[in-house]
Amino acid sequence: MKYTALTGAALIGAVAAKDTQTFAVLRFNGDPIFNGRVDPIVNPGVASPHEHSVFGGSNFGLHATGETMVKSKCSSAVVKGDNSAYWMPRLYFHDKADDSFEAVPVSYANVYYFFDPTDDEIKAFPTGLQILAGPDASTRHAPAVGARTNLDPNNGDVNPVFWTCARTSYADPSWPADSDGTTAGIGCPGLPGQGVGFPLKKCDAFASPLRADVNFPSCYDPSKGLTNYKENMVYPSAKGTSGGKLNCPEGFVHVPRMLFEIFWDTQKFDSRWTPDGKTQPFVLSNGDVTGYSLHADFLAGWDEQVLQKIIDTCDVKFANMDTCPGIESNKASCSCDGDVGDYATESTTAKALPGTCPLSGFQYGAAPVASAVSAVEKAASNHEQEASSPEEDASPAAESPVVEAAPALSSAPAEAAPVCATRTKTVVETKTVWEGASETAAAAKRHLHRHVARHH
């Protein structure tokens, strides 16, 4: 289905109120299909300043578009019909013993597809839609709202990113109790395993290493265009609604809300560091030792009819999305065969991060000034010079149309309240199901994780 102005108008005009939340979990087969310095959204055609771990369709590459993604020969998504690409900065372990960097393996990744209560009609992502979620890649300061996760622009600054660290004991907090975010991350009151910025303790719960969580916006503005990632998306709001519904601004298309999570196998490194309550050894591929710049990207390559069927008929909760009625499973392995230039990461251990990104944040100081210049701009000014700056403005909310402020809803906490979610019903228990294990082993490894995500 080709997305045109006419179909966009039809999507906006159709209205089917939804009173309850439904959702399903998209899982991936195996490891990332690609690790390297490629980002076809922010840095199309040139090297990305930092490395990413990518899941999804095989046609991911320097020049990937929605049209090329849907033609992928295979996908690591477990659902036939999803050739989209999903990516995040890669995580590294900084070994202080020899000042080397070792890539942290991915344990597994999931994307929760939430279909929230709304007066809008939720529609499939149009092919080629580009979405970025999270702060600018040069961010080295804590969110203005601290560890409070907020997805409703009516309740203040949107804060869609957090880290989760499940532990066997929280007797000692994972983040300093009195942290203001300037020398360490900030923990979430009431949820000891969640915070912003990297935790200072080992995430040692069974089969539950450090987890990165990014909530994507779900209101698309067709007037901005599919590829205008800085302005084309905003988060829905409960302003003017009842029953916990979340609506998009007039003229926008309400698409599924995604929560992208990656479990990084940080437990592999537990014997190589000792928590001191001041620092920790993990760093994002852009050199960020704070963890504040965590962000994620999405390039839509769905069969729109398949996704629309899932939106309209599926509510399997924590079960795999491929168990939705009438949806086919994809169990085949997949690897990237798109044009990635020379930017694939061949080694998992090196003396410098890919792209030679310097360490920054906390004791290392601010991100390099050069990070304010995008790789595309550098390439335009000097075709022979390789880009060396982090992504420019990876926050879709930063330049998005502003939703007019209004008094806080009675069910929402005061701005100063020490909470991590904007509503009393936002904590969702999510279940991770291990694939490819015996029935006994799978049952033993089945465990619950706490997410802060809008849930009504």
Residue 413 lies in a domain: no
Round to whole Å and give the CA distance between 160 and 420. 11
**Closest alpha carbon to 387 in 60, 45, 134, 34:** 45
pTM of the model: 0.81
pLDDT tier at 428 (50, 70, 90 boundaries)? very low
Q: Can you give the residue range of the structural domain that contains 37?
A: 1-404
Query: What percentage of the chain carries pLDDT values higher than 70?
Result: 77
Residue 418 lies in a domain: no
Is the pLDDT assigned to residue 442 strictly greater than 80? Answer: no
Q: 124, 302 in Cβ contact below 8 A?
A: yes
Round to whole Å and give the CA distance between 46 and 52. 14
- Helical H segments across 303-438, by residue range: 304-313, 375-381
- The pLDDT value recorded for residue 369 is 65
Would you say the C-alpha torsion 192, 196, 198, 200 has a positive or negative sign? negative
- The pLDDT value recorded for residue 419 is 41
pLDDT, tens digit (0-9, with 9 covering 90-100), for 241-269: 988 899 999 999 999 999 999 999 999 99
| Average pLDDT score over residue span 294-320 | 97
Is the pLDDT assigned to residue 321 strictly greater than 70? Answer: yes
Number of helices followed by number of strands (H, E) in the chain: 5, 21
Please state, rounded to an integer, the average pLDDT across all residues of the chain: 83
Query: What is 427-452 written as a DSSP string?
Result: EEEEEE--SSS-HHHHHHH-EEEEEE
> What does the buried/exposed string (b/e) look like for 132-164 if buried means 16 or more CB atoms within 10 Å of the residue's CB?
bbbbbbbbbebbebbbbbbbbbbbbebbbbbbb
Burial of 317 (0-12, 13-18, 19+ CB in 10 A): middle
Q: Edge-to-edge, what's the strand order for the sheet holding 100-103?
A: 282-284, 91-95, 100-103, 349-350
Q: How crowded is residue 14: how many other Cβ atoms within 10 Å of its Cβ? A: 11
- The pLDDT value recorded for residue 380 is 38
| Average pLDDT score over residue span 23-47 | 97
Enumerate the β-bridge partners of residue 311. Answer: none
- Domains of the chain: total: 1
- The pLDDT value recorded for residue 385 is 37
Residue 432 lies in a domain: no
The DSSP 8-state label assigned to residue 145 in this structure reads: T
Residue 428 lies in a domain: no
Residue 168 lies in a domain: yes
> What does the buried/exposed string (b/e) look like for 196-225 if buried means 16 or more CB atoms within 10 Å of the residue's CB?
bbbbbbbbebeebbbbbbbbbbbbbbbebe
- Helical H segments across 32-92, by residue range: 66-69
